[in-house]
């Protein structure tokens, strides 16, 4: 990529947030090419680029589009997931701020590819500023004939709407997002049927992440071969990495997929803060299994992370140094997911609470010898498909990985623990049978 910014090319250029500035930089050329090529050609171009979803799962984007039934007689929908809520992830909000038309163009092309005449950008409720930026961009695009009826004389109609959620982590899961978009409580749905067949309002729907859709205009403008030449096979294109925690230069960095975590942390983020030693890091937000300092040379892409027993997820890299109490870090993770569980599935609802309680007790100095095994057992029965959506895995995988990889720290805390004082049962005010309840 030769240091060239693609997704973040608008950084430091406020004019990019306006339609005039975006057009001057070649904006909406991909949209024009898509309309000239036809929906099937757009799907093929994105398929050849090997673009994979940037929201967490890394599923091939064009393959997801191809699941929408072509013979469906009614409406279909494209939904942009802008409910960025994974701890350690803050890339999508920058894309929406510095180059909102890039996202609008990506939404338009994706909607055209699946033959959808209505698209929604579902944005996190706290993102008030970014919702207004998108509303303004959509209004500009509509006024410029790039959205609305008979777009650019093509005969294709497209409306795009911004829908604000209520700030629930669970609504980042696509079926919970759809439920919320329909005005219902954000409870994930059982699959199948998948959204591509039964989605918003019971119609075929594709849900894509902000960063995923931001890549699409560049693929249509520069071609699939260009995009596929960045990174490595099956892990192509530019990628936004969010680096936070105990580093010298936290921030969002645009790099080719496949750089190592060592390069991310030590070259781009300036190394561990204060020159301290690296202890561990989350590679893809706190829902990803933790990695130790010994794994820092792993490539930061989908397949390499999977081979290492973790996942790239949203590429929210959180760095922990040698001074971090890993047991307290695990308790912090447990608190977040116990709070954000929607409560629909027993293994997630109860398991996240149990893990939180056990970890809080260990941190308070009252750990028990069987606590590590209890944590691993709870995590086992809350993950691996035991819940409707992946939130069970989201708390179980990081906690179980922390307990497994840092077992010694848990055992040292427990060895130094003091027994928790037992509560005495209250003495009843009567000695015999309760009055009025027989003898």
How much is the pLDDT for 429? 64
Instruction: Grade residue 422 by pLDDT with cuts at 50, 70 and 90.
Output: confident
How much is the pLDDT for 433? 58
User: Which 8-state DSSP code applies to residue 398?
Assistant: H
How much is the pLDDT for 395? 95
| In contact, 258 and 231? CB cutoff 8 Å | yes
What is the distance of C-alpha 262 from the center of its chain? Answer: 22
For 245, the token pair is: 């925690």
Nearest to 214 by CA among 38, 82, 39: 82
Range 392-399 average pLDDT: 96
Query: pLDDT for 256-266, tens place per residue?
Result: 998 999 999 99
Mean of the per-residue pLDDT values of the chain:
94
How much is the pLDDT for 439? 44
Q: What are residue 305's phi and psi, to 5 degrees? A: -65, -40
Range 98-117 average pLDDT: 97
How much is the pLDDT for 430? 56
Range 186-197 average pLDDT: 95
SS3 341: coil
Range 160-184 average pLDDT: 95
Query: pLDDT for 60-73, tens place per residue?
Result: 999 999 999 988 88
Whether residue 187 has pLDDT greater than 80: yes
Range 85-114 average pLDDT: 96
Beta strands in 8-117 (DSSP E): 77-82
What is the distance of C-alpha 248 from the center of its chain? Answer: 24
Query: pLDDT for 347-358, tens place per residue?
Result: 999 999 999 999
Range 221-243 average pLDDT: 96
Give residues with Cβ within 8 angstroms of 429, minimum separation 6. Answer: none
Strand partners, 235: 232
Whether residue 141 has pLDDT greater than 60: yes
Measured from the Cβ of residue 294, the count of other Cβ atoms closer than 10 Å reads 10
How much is the pLDDT for 426? 74
* Entry pTM: 0.92
SS3 254: strand
Whether residue 417 has pLDDT greater than 60: yes
How much is the pLDDT for 2? 46
């Amino acid at each position: 990529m030769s240091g060239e910014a693609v997704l973040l090319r608008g950084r430091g250029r406020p004019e990019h947030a306006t339609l005039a500035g975006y057009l001057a930089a070649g904006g909406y050329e991909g949209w024009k090419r898509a309309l000239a090529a036809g929906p099937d050609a757009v799907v093929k171009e994105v398929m050849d680029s090997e673009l994979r979803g940037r929201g967490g799962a890394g599923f091939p984007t064009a393959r997801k589009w191809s699941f929408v039934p072509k013979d469906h007689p009614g409406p279909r929908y494209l939904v942009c997931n802008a409910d960025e809520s994974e701890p350690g992830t803050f890339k999508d909000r920058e894309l929406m701020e510095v180059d909102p038309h890039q996202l609008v163009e990506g939404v338009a092309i994706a909607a055209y590819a699946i033959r959808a005449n209505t698209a929604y950008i579902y944005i996190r409720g706290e993102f008030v500023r970014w919702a207004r930026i998108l509303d303004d961009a959509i209004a500009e695009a509509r006024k410029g004939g790039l959205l609305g009826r008979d777009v650019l004389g093509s005969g294709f109609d497209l409306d795009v709407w911004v829908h604000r959620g209520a700030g629930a982590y669970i609504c980042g899961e696509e079926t919970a997002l759809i439920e919320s978009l329909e005005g219902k409580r954000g409870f994930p749905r059982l699959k199948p049927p998948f959204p591509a067949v039964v989605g918003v309002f019971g119609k075929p729907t594709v849900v894509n992440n902000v960063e995923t859709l931001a890549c699409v205009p560049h693929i249509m403008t520069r071609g699939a071969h260009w995009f596929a030449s960045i990174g490595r096979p099956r892990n192509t294109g530019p990628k936004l990495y969010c680096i936070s925690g105990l580093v010298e230069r936290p921030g969002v960095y645009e790099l080719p997929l496949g750089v190592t975590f060592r390069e991310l942390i030590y070259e781009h983020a300036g190394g561990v803060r204060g020159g301290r030693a690296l202890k561990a890091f989350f590679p893809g937000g706190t829902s990803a299994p933790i990695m130790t300092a010994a794994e820092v040379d792993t490539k930061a892409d989908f397949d390499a992370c999977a081979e290492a027993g973790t996942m790239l997820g949203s590429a929210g890299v959180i760095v922990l140094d040698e001074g971090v109490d890993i047991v307290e870090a695990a308790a912090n993770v447990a608190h977040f997911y116990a709070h954000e569980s929607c409560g629909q599935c027993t293994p997630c609802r109860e398991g996240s609470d149990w893990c939180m309680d056990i970890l809080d007790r260990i941190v308070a100095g009252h750990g028990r010898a069987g606590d590590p095994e209890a944590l691993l057992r709870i995590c086992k029965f809350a993950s691996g498909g035991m819940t409707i959506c992946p939130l069970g895995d989201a708390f179980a995988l990081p906690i179980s990985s922390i307990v497994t990889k840092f077992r010694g720290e848990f055992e040292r805390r427990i060895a130094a623990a003091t027994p928790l004082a037992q509560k005495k049962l209250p003495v009843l005010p009567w000695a015999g049978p309760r009055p009025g309840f027989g003898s």
